[in-house]
Amino acid sequence: ELKVEQNPLFLSMQEGKNYTIYCNYSTTSDRLYWYRQDPGKSLESLFVLLSNGAVKQEGRLMASLDTKARLSTLHITAAVHDLSATYFCAVTNTGNQFYFGTGTSLTVIP
């Protein structure tokens, strides 16, 4: 079974600072997703990464994928309070089943 590990599990950071969330997965996968979840809400798709070396950016968030290392990163630049949420990475198998990481709970402190 595909295993997905995220770290850190909890992240408290000050506004304006930079940080990186890491996502490791155990076997090859052709797609990696990043989602955001606010408390009590559903998952919002942030990025889909399809190939080795893929990099995508949206606002203060940038995601990258290294398929050889089976590693994806979500980099946060100059954090603001609105980014406080739980972030999940997920990879898929050929049957389109998603395997989610345990999530990183991010709190941005003013």
Partner 1 sequence: NAGVMQNPRHLVRRRGQEARLRCSPMKGHSHVYWYRQLPEEGLKFMVYLQKENIIDESGMPKERFSAEFPKEGPSILRIQQVVRGDSAAYFCASSPGVAYGYTFGSGTRLTVV
The reply on whether position 42 binds partner 1 by CB under 8 A is: yes
Cis peptide before 8 (omega within 30 of 0): yes
The reply on whether position 96 binds partner 1 by CB under 8 A is: yes
The reply on whether position 80 binds partner 1 by CB under 8 A is: no
Q: Which of 88, 91, 106, 108 binds partner 1 (CB under 8 A)?
A: 88
* Cβ atoms of 99 and 25 closer than 8 Å: yes
The reply on whether position 100 binds partner 1 by CB under 8 A is: yes
Give the integer Cα–Cα distance in Å for 26 and 24. Answer: 7
Nearer to partner 1, 1 or 82 (CB): 1
Give the integer Cα–Cα distance in Å for 23 and 2. Answer: 13
Site residues (vs partner 1, CB under 8 A): 4, 31, 33, 40-43, 45, 48, 88, 90, 94-103
